[in-house]
């Protein structure tokens, strides 16, 4: 079916139509803009005062350096094959397993988009209320998400264009906010701030949340990096873009949280109101509004590709429009923001094991079969070891859920689950794949 208007993008799962539109600056801006976002700021706010300020910043740095590695590995798979993330899962998990993962991915991304739409609406509502006296949160949530949907409907080229300008605007506004905070408040007092348990955050949980924040992007990395001009661009643009953004955004969150406590102000889930107490409400509102422009469009776009992986013959604009409408209504669900911290941990439980298997499959088991034929429903190109992949994922997800919800370990769950799940899959393939098959697979890979 042809598109109804030239306004709508015609993005498909096919590598032939993905193009290579992202250079170094564009890739850096994409991942920088994706993470200078209110939810990442909120993550930083959760860390203080439960941890010392220096401990919180160190945890953010180390966690981001480690967490961004799997992110860039999945993105590199997309660049090399031209395939989006969910299509890539067909090789390790088989067609049916890939569809199940796509359903879960679509649901998580819709929930992620709902949370961000609400936060953006709160910020815009505050900005309008302080300047005009008019307040209507549901209306502004709908307006913010409508802008997101319109951008997504233009496809990846429209998103990349918006990402560059929005990332630049957010960087400038963030610098202004940080500068003004330093001018008006004694930021050095943060280094002497006493530890106080408020959010139940231990060092292990903090590390886990930072890792989970990076890992949450694994399910979307190939969706965008398949458009990168070269593998080098996909690696370094993603790595530095994500790390710089994570340090700036989480560092800003930790700073705001710490100063609000030091100066006797109320902590809140809305960083705009905290910054308003410092006199920076309008710049903060603009930062958060632009953040939804850069991050929410990516969530809705990737959810759309997940839907297309379930039903490949669907035109791009249809799921994009439907998912956009769902996120608008979902953002208005009462109490959705109260579950933000638990949501981050659930994301880790669901996707860390899923993409651990996929990374091991591609980089250690073999790259053979990662071609456009994965999109052909008449060719069942899932590995013979697909059942092992699904089994490893179920064990990893169960372990992540147990460690996350029942018995959190002091060392955190995200990284151990990633290593254990990948190790189980690698061990299963090694033990249950006949040597003759392994030799044939190696010969096939060398011939590619």
d(CA 370, CA 60): 34
Matching residue, tokens 């013979």 = 384
Kindly report the backbone phi and psi dihedral angles of residue 228, in degrees, each rounded to the nearest multiple of 5, phi listed first. -70, 150
Angle, to 10 degrees, between the axis of helix 340-360 and the axis of helix 38-47?
110
Residue-range domains of the chain with CATH: 30-341 (1.10.4160.10)
CA dist 356 and 364 (Å) reads: 11
Q: How far is CA 153 from the centre of its chain?
A: 20
The tokens describing 286, both together, are: 């603009």
pLDDT of residue 424: 95
Q: Supply the DSSP string of 371-413, one letter for each residue.
A: SGGGG-TTS--S-TTHHHHHHHHHHHHHHHHIIIII---TT-S
List residues bridging with 22 in a β-sheet. 228
For the record, the structure tokens of 119 come out as 């936060």
Q: Give me the residues paired with residue 186 across strands.
A: none
User: Is the preceding omega at residue 49 within 30 degrees of 0, hence cis?
Assistant: yes
> Phi and psi of 122, rounded to 5°?
-60, -40
| Contact in structure between 144 and 121 (CB atoms under 8 Å) | yes
Note the pLDDT of residue 204. 82
Long-range contacts of 404-411 (CB under 8 A, 24+ apart): 404/208, 404/345, 404/346, 404/348, 404/349, 405/345, 408/202, 408/204, 408/205, 408/208, 409/204, 410/202, 410/203, 410/204, 411/204, 411/207
Question: Please, are residues 221 and 298 in contact by the beta-carbon 8 Å criterion?
Answer: no
Instruction: Give the SS3 label for residue 82.
Output: coil
Q: CB–CB of 221/27 below 8 Å? A: no
Q: What are phi and psi of 22, to 5 degrees?
A: -100, 115
The model carries a pTM of 0.84
Instruction: HSE, CB side, 13 Å, CA atoms: give it for residue 275.
Output: 32
Regions in the chain scoring below 50 on pLDDT: 1-4, 18, 436-440, 442-448
Are 132 and 101 in contact by the 8 Å Cβ rule? The answer is no
């Amino acid at each position: 079916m042809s598109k109804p208007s030239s306004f709508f993008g015609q993005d498909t799962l096919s590598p032939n139509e993905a193009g290579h539109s992202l250079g170094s600056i564009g890739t850096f801006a994409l991942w920088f803009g994706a993470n200078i976002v209110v939810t990442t700021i909120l993550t930083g706010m959760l860390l203080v005062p439960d941890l010392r300020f220096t401990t919180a910043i160190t945890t953010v740095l180390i966690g981001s350096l480690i967490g961004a590695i799997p992110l860039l590995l999945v993105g590199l798979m997309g660049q090399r094959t031209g395939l989006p993330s969910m299509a890539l899962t067909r090789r390790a998990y088989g067609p049916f397993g890939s569809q199940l993962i796509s359903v879960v991915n679509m649901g998580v991304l819709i929930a992620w988009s709902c949370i961000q739409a609400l936060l953006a609406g709160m910020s815009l509502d505050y900005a309008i209320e302080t300047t005009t006296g008019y307040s209507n949160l549901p209306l502004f949530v709908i307006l913010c998400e409508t802008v997101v949907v319109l951008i997504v409907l233009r496809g990846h080229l429209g998103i990349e264009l918006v990402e560059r300008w929005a990332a630049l605007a957010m960087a400038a506004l963030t610098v202004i906010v940080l500068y003004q905070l330093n001018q008006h408040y004694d930021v050095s007092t943060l280094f002497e701030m006493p530890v106080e348990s408020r959010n139940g955050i231990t060092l292990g949980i903090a590390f886990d949340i930072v890792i989970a924040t990076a890992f949450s992007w694994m399910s979307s990395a190939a969706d965008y990096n398949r458009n990168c001009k070269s593998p080098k661009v996909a690696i370094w643009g993603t790595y530095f873009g994500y790390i710089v953004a994570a340090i700036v955004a989480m560092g800003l969150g930790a700073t705001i949280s710490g100063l609000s406590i030091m100066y006797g102000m109320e902590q809140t889930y809305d960083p705009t109101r905290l910054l308003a107490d410092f006199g920076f409400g309008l710049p903060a509102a603009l930062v958060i509004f632009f953040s939804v422009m850069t991050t929410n469009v990516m969530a809705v776009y990737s959810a759309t590709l997940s839907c297309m992986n379930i039903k490949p013959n669907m035109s791009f604009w249809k799921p994009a429009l439907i998912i956009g409408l769902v996120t608008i209504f979902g953002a208005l669900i009462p109490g959705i923001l109260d579950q933000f911290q638990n949501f981050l941990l659930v994301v880790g439980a669901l996707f860390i094991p899923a993409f651990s298997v996929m990374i091991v499959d591609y980089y250690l088991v073999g790259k053979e079969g990662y071609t456009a034929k994965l999109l052909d429903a008449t060719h069942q190109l899932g590995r013979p070891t697909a059942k092992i992949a699904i089994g490893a994922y179920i064990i990893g997800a169960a372990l992540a859920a147990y460690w996350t919800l029942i018995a959190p370990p002091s060392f955190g769950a995200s990284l151990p689950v990633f290593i254990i799940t990948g190790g189980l899959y690698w061990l299963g393939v090694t033990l249950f794949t006949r040597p003759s098959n392994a030799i044939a697979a190696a010969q096939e890979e060398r011939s590619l």
